[in-house]
């Protein structure tokens, strides 16, 4: 069993923290109890072959200095947003079930994902959609916050491998070896869009660095995340396969081919959310 379900956007957690506690903490407790009830045998052991894989985030570890250091599985938790605090709480629940009941589980803590179907409140699809439509490209603070980017298919492979090969009761960090500043990500997207759009497409004229607009920084904005995925590499054999330059082209291609999906998810309530976040 793989437990993906989560409220995952920091901005939303700042506005509505109780929703994140309900989904990420209470929701995880419900899932743990359901799995425990289904798998536990009369003697307190668990059915052979059952495992609860809890998918979490690197944000539980807090923030790193700009000039070095990485998150390891042994890094103390230091969450700074309601989102990361709620995920830290859910991780601790899973750890408690493993310790108390010998509940068969693993935890994975991954870096920022990107790829198809990502909702456009997240940085990469937001920038793709806004650039194509000639809208401002909002950048928090100085744009130099660093994230480690992981293509979604690489993450899916890591989850599958941990589910199959991970040692019970262990945590595995999953990182992409793709550290980049937010402003770098935006400029790479703009450059790639200009390369991929045919000259005949009128949207090409929209794709300009002039759209970059610096906005007030996010409250409690962590400066840098970076994962050391040594353990998952050494124990399970997983390594990220997708270079960012390739992953971003695959992502943009998907959004080109699924414009109707993007139009549908950015209508209605999304517009109200966007205006409230970026004051447009």
> Read out DSSP for 229-250?
-HHHHHHH-------HHHHHHH
SS3 148: strand
Active site residue 210: no
Catalytic residue among 11, 59, 148, 222, which? Answer: 59
Q: What is the mean pLDDT of the chain?
A: 95
d(CA 169, CA 78): 21
pLDDT score of 270? 64
pLDDT score of 68? 80
d(CA 35, CA 103): 9
Active site residue 83: yes
Catalytic residue among 58, 91, 148, 222, which? Answer: 58
Note whether 125 and 118 are within 8 A (CB).
yes
Which backbone phi and psi does 178 adopt, to 5 degrees?
-135, 65
Mean pLDDT of 15-34: 97
Percent of the chain with pLDDT over 70: 96
The H or E element that residue 138 is part of is: strand 137-140
Residue 140's pLDDT band (boundaries 50, 70, 90)? very high
pLDDT score of 268? 72
Tens digit of pLDDT for each residue in 117-126? 999 989 999 9
Tens digit of pLDDT for each residue in 188-243? 999 999 999 999 999 999 899 999 999 999 999 999 999 999 999 999 999 999 99
In whole angstroms, what separates CA 170 from the centre of its chain? 20
pLDDT score of 280? 56
Tens digit of pLDDT for each residue in 108-117? 999 999 999 9
Of residues 271 and 81, more confidence is placed in 81
SS3 55: strand
Residue 267's pLDDT band (boundaries 50, 70, 90)? confident
pLDDT score of 67? 78
Catalytic residue among 61, 83, 274, 278, which? Answer: 83
Mean pLDDT of 128-138: 95
DSSP class of 167:
P
Mean pLDDT of 55-64: 97
pTM over 0.85: yes
Residue 271 has pLDDT above 80, yes or no: no
């Amino acid at each position: 069993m793989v437990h993906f379900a989560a409220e995952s956007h920091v901005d939303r957690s700042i506005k509505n923290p109780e929703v994140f506690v309900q989904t990420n903490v209470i929701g995880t407790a419900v899932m743990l109890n359901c799995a425990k009830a289904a798998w536990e045998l009369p003697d307190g052991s668990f059915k052979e072959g059952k495992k609860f894989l809890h998918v979490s985030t690197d944000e539980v570890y807090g923030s790193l200095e700009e000039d070095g250091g990485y998150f390891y599985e042994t890094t103390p938790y230091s969450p700074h947003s309601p989102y990361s605090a709620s995920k830290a709480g859910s991780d601790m629940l899973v750890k408690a079930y493993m310790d108390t009941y010998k509940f068969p589980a693993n935890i994975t803590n991954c870096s920022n994902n990107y790829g198809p179907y990502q909702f456009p409140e997240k940085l990469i699809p937001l920038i793709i959609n806004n650039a194509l439509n000639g809208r401002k490209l909002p950048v928090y603070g100085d744009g130099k916050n660093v994230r480690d980017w992981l293509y979604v298919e690489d993450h899916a492979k890591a989850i599958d491998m941990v589910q199959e090969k991970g040692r019970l009761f262990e945590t595995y960090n999953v990182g992409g070896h793709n550290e980049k500043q937010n402003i770098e990500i935006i400029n790479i997207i703009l450059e790639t869009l200009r390369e991929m759009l045919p000259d005949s497409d009128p949207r090409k004229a929209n794709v300009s660095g002039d759209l970059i607009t610096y906005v007030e920084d996010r409250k409690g904005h962590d400066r840098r995340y970076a994962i050391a995925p040594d353990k998952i590499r050494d124990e399970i054999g997983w390594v990220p396969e997708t270079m960012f330059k390739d992953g971003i082209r695959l992502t943009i291609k998907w959004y080109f081919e699924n414009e109707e999906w993007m139009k549908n998810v950015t209508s209605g309530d999304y517009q109200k959310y966007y205006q409230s976040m970026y004051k447009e």
